[in-house]
Each structure stands twice: as C-alpha cells, then as structure tokens.
Amino acid sequence: MDGHTRVYGLIGDPVEHSLSPLIHNSIAEMFKENFVYVPLPVKKENLGEAIKGAYAFHFGGMNVTVPHKQAVMDYICDIDEVAAQIGAVNTLLWTKDGYKGFNTDIIGLEKSFASDGFDVTGEEIIMIGAGGASRAVGILLARMNAKCIYILNRTKETAEKLKADIVKYYPDAKIEVLGLDEYSRIPGFYQKKFNVVQATSVGLSDDTKAPIYNDDFYEHVNFGYDLIYSPLETLFMKKVREKGGKAVNGLHMLLSQAIASYEIWREGLKDE
C-alpha cells in the first residue's frame, strides 16, 4: 500500500459476514494490482452521505449489498441498461460526474445456474422474496424462459410491483404472486416437485431461521438455490436436503459477480 493505492469497498448492513473483502483482496494479490477492498457498514439513513463521502475520497468503485441495492439508485449519476431493467444496483464505478451503477448479480447467477445444474428454461420456478436481490433473479428467470414464475412474498403488494417491472421488459413471462403461506395454491403443487430460489435475507448469518418452516413445502422442492452463502448451509438448505432435494448456496454466484465487478472497475480505469 502506498500513495497510489486505489480503494474499493462494500457498503451494506450488515457487512461483517461478507467474503467480498477476501475475494477482492485475493484478486489484487493474484494480479499484482495496487488496490485494497474494505467493508463499509452503512445504515439506511446514512446512505446518501456515505456515497458522497466515498466519491469525495475517490473510491474507485464499490459493491452494494442489502439493504441498499435499490435505494442507492437515488445517489448515482448514470445506470447501466441491465441494472435499469432489474431496478437494482450492486456495483458502482467512479466517473467524473459521479458513480455509475451496474448489476453483476445477474451475471453471477446465470453462471451459477449453469454450473450447478439448476434448470430454468421450460420449468415452473418458485421464487421466495421480492426485494432487491429478487429483482435480478426474476429478470433472469424471465429471460431464460421459465414456464411460470411463482413469487412467494410476505407482502403481495411488493411482489405485484416486481411482477409489473418484469413484465414491462418480458411481456410474455407468466408470473403468479402468492403469499409466503399460499404455496398450496400453486396448481398441482402436491403432485409436483419444483426448483426454488430463496432470494430473501432470512437466514443470513443465522441458521435457525428460514422464510418457510412447513415441512410439506420442502417435500416438493427438487432443487433449492439459496442466494445466501453465510452460513454455508442455511436452514432452508437443510430442510430441502432432509426431504431428499438438492440444495446449493450463493457462494458460486458471489465469486462470479465479484469477478464481473472487478472487470468493470479495471475497464473504468481507462476512462479516468
């Protein structure tokens, strides 16, 4: 580290569990890059000041995690087309006019689906959650031509808004909105098994919590994909496996999206 060291970071709440500093600082070491990546815990009410301060300190870029992926859009000067579709940002790039927002979650997720064998095309997919992380998932599921996307969420209003946003870009997408406890209303639910994406923060750093607890739900999960990677096995994943299904966490997605973020930052250096 010296006077030319570039600084990058992760803003969110919490960030203590994150593996992103380890990943990015390992990338720096591997490629002999003169940068450092630090965790930056930021409360919701301080987000605007945090972005302004980071820009003033010339942070070259940042990753954005829960709960700021949508709110951060109010504090950037430009947004990538894919991130605009998703309606959420997880990567910021310093520019002369302010930060530009990108979304690399969708890149990491698509690569992870392919390598882990999580089938989407022509399948009925259940997505749990309708928050910031869910937006990338929903757009990708529609783009990959899922037969039907069932969004299970605590508040239906939030899920209906997500549905409308997805259909705006993918008008042929078939999407149904249900409450968390209404999965039995999915046509033929008890005669089928489903691939399920768990896209809420429930279970983050706490393996005693899950978005759904009922065993009869997990009996009909063929493949459970949890975006959470800490703990490595969430209660959601444990329940899927106990009922004979396959389950994976979001670690592969994290690694893939981190590499995509790094590539954006490296490309951005050419324009400074």
Out of 69, 100, 163, 239, the active site residue is: 69
What is the C-alpha radius of gyration for the chain, rounded to an integer number of angstroms?
Answer: 19
* Catalytic site includes residue 243: no
Strand duo 61-64 + 91-95: pairing: antiparallel
Tokens of 133: 């992380």
DSSP 217-265: HHTTEEEEEES--SSSS-HHHHHHHHTT-EEE-SHHHHHHHHHHHHHHH
Return the closest-CA partner of residue 221 out of 177, 190, 181: 190
Count of CB atoms situated within 10 Å of the CB of 188: 8
> What backbone phi and psi angles, to 5 degrees, belong to 158?
-65, -40
Residues belonging to the active site: 69
